[in-house]
Chains A and B, each alone.
Chain A
Amino acid sequence: MAEHQGLLPSERPLRLLDEMGTPVDGSGLVMPDHRRLLEAYTSLVIGRRVNDQAGALVRQGRLAVYPSSHGQEACQTGAALALAEGDWLFPTYRDTAAVIARGVDPVEVLTLLKGDWHAGYDPYAHKVAPQATPLATQLLHAVGVAHAARLRGEDTVIMALCGDGATSEGDFHEALNFAAVFKAPVVFFVQNNEYAISVPLARQTAAPSLAHKGIGYGVPGERVDGNDAAAVLAVLERAVESARSDGGPRLVEAHTYRMQAHTNADDDTRYRDSGEVDPWTERDPLTRMEKYLKRKRVLTKAKQTEIAEAAEAVAAHMREGVARDTDPEPAELFTHVFADPTPQLNEQAAFLADELSREGN
């Protein structure tokens, strides 16, 4: 019994605020202080604005595609805010808002979706790995970064994100297992938004919850209401600090919902109806936090305006940056394959340069 203790998640997802923004019993979870909550709220508002703006840029044909985290902003915010400066974030394609919350320039983040290059930001500048498109592969990279840090005696913690669908991939299991065996300080943060494109959670797993999967590897699991920004932040901060102090990994599952289609290219009316989606509108992470902070008189009218203006500035920066015409340089296609291009790549680069010069480019 003793060995199992602390490995299984709570019966229900932990929460600090109900849908009306009223505090509830957090089963030992401590409410972050007002300064921290205001920080989280600011990040929520910006995250929502980022999602909305990116969606609009897709409709205008400025971005090829955008996988939105609309409705999941509490998770995005929590993942970024729970980390210290020297920690690492390993995001997926749906975690643009988290990457921006970590401090990366939104225009650089959108390089991928704009079609200019695969990854647009320097991963070392803010310790944010390139957004992963393959599922769960990045979780193993997170373990490697953590292991290297541990070998050097550093107290770095890695926040590794994935979705419910990715928990079916082999690399999810290998990553949890490696992290546990090597005591790598990784917080595996699963945003269970109920869908992997069109496939619902019931087809991914028969486990009681995704957080239960931790016990198979000796990794403590935790469940949190993913639309309660206060609870997500508190749970992730606790997970980060315990990973930092004992070096072991943690698995956190946030119960949330993908409010929009997988991407703009997806038609979600083919696999779910509005009767399922609508109730989640009432669980929106922004309104919940807003109600609480207003009631506590932490969020004043003036403060709210200030935050809205900050979000609008980010959106304007996105519009301006994405509208700027950039011409990716074809010669660069050969530059980064190896540190030093092979003779064959040099030949091919010369071939393309010649072709372009004959076309008058």
Chain B
Amino acid sequence: MATEKLSMAQALNRALRDSLSEDPSVYVFGEDVGPLGGVFRITDGLTAEFGEDRCFDTPLAESGIVGMAVGMAMNGMRPVVEMQFDAFAYPAFEQIASHVAKTRNRTRGRVGLPIVIRVPFAGGIGGVEHHCDSSEAYYAHTPGLKVVTPATPEDAYHLLRESIASPDPVVFMEPKKLYWAKEEVDFDRPVPAMGKAVVRREGTDATLIAYGPSVPTALEAAEAAAQEGRSLQVVDVRSPVPFDDETVCAAVRSTGRAVVIAEASGYASVASEIVARVTERCFHSLAAPVRRVTGFDIPFPPPKLERFQLPGVDRILDAVDDLQWEDQ
């Protein structure tokens, strides 16, 4: 079997390499993605292997990068562009919201845009201002965009391959703090498609719902809870859009209690949406209101204060403790 121990960064690199070699219409471009291989080395070696036409550096202008991707996609290509950091993608927001997201609909399905916008995102690496935003809600709120965020190297490989093959634009959000952790990756065994959540850990007392950078934290919390005799189930959402109501709700119904975990500020967030959806659908199965453990509603803190913003094991366990167990 083709399995290999890889970091998420290496798995993403492998996914780009395999897509580039299988499909001549795939083009990779952005800032520093050429000879340097990207500031996180996700595009390492691609220019050398596939040439300057297939993986290339652009002028330093994010709107230009995404706008050019729109035109290339209109003309038969599958662009995969890198926004160097989460907050660096904001200059491209008009292109993303007004064109990437809307062109298929605007043209009544005549012009689809198979574009992948890769966004390294979220905190946990001690990054300075503008390098640690959890910007997924902006994209998830925009109709016409798929939003994917892997939590494991294996998912990173398969979900990026699937995103590049998708006929629709995908904002592919890569949790920076998970870039370097290694895990066995099976290249041949398919994983569930985007739009499917997966249960990462079985449990019977309460369900932790997380995605991207918060999944390992949720698993850690479940492990700690097990030491104390509480059995927590962990669901990895994988793609905030399309959202898998079925799997998430089935999981919540099986335990009757839920906590949603995300790094992003909680107000008007993906976490809020998940709470609303679960509550609307599972109200009679719930023994307690669904809780959220999210970032505070503050601009992302400087490195020495970031630990106060990130959802940690203790906060998750406190939220679980709060799920009205005494009323059971």
Contacts and interface: CB of A to CB of B under 8 A. Distances in A.
Interface string A339-361: 10011100000000000000000
Contacts of A143: 64, 67-68, 71
A293 to B, nearest CB: 38
Interface string A196-222: 000000000000000000000000000
A198 to B, nearest CB: 23
A312 interface: no
Interface in A111-132: 117-119, 122-124, 129-130
Interface stretch (B3-11, B55-63, B221-229, B309-317): B55-63
A181 B70 CA distance: 18
A141 B72 CA distance: 7
A214 B140 CA distance: 38
A118 B77 CA distance: 24
Given A118-B105, A174-B67, 5 more contacts: A118-B102, A143-B64, A143-B67, A171-B67, A336-B104
Given A175-B64, A177-B59, A119 B71 contact: no
11 contacts: A123-B107, A141-B74, A144-B73, A174-B59, A178-B58, A178-B64, A336-B104, A336-B108, A339-B104, A342-B195, A343-B246
Contact of B144 (A137, A139, A146, A337): A337
Interface string A240-277: 00000000000000000000000000000000000000
Contact of A338 (B67, B104, B243): B104
Interface stretch (A36-44, A94-102, A147-155, A230-238): A147-155
Nearest to A217: B59
B48 interface: no
Nearest to A174: B64
B190 interface: no
A143 B61 CA distance: 14
Interface of A: 117-119, 122-124, 129-130, 134, 137, 139-149, 151-152, 170-171, 174-175, 177-178, 181, 332, 335-339, 342-344
Contact of A147 (B63, B72, B167): B72
B110 A337 contact: no
Contacts of B241: 342
A134 B106 CA distance: 13
Number of contact residues on B: which range applies? 35 or more
B168 interface: yes
A119 B74 contact: no
A146 B77 CA distance: 12
Scoring A338, A339, A344 by chain B CB atoms within 10 A of each residue's CB, the highest score goes to: A338
Contacts of B58: 178, 181
Interface of B: 27, 53, 58-59, 61, 63-64, 66-77, 79, 91, 94-95, 98-99, 102-112, 143-144, 146, 167-168, 195, 241-243, 245-246
A344 B61 contact: no
Given A143-B67, A170-B63, A174-B67, A336 B105 contact: yes
Given A137-B99, A337-B144, A130 B106 contact: yes
B105 A137 contact: no
A343 B59 contact: no
A337 B103 CA distance: 9
Nearest to A118: B106
A143 B65 CA distance: 10
Nearest to B99: A137
The 9 closest A-B pairs by CB, nearest first: A144-B71, A140-B67, A174-B64, A148-B75, A342-B242, A141-B71, A339-B167, A144-B68, A145-B71
Contacts of B61: 174, 177-178
Nearest to A335: B109
A344 B63 CA distance: 30
A338 B168 contact: yes
Contact of A151 (B53, B63, B104, B195): B53
Given A123-B107, A178-B68, A344 B95 contact: no
A141 B68 CA distance: 5
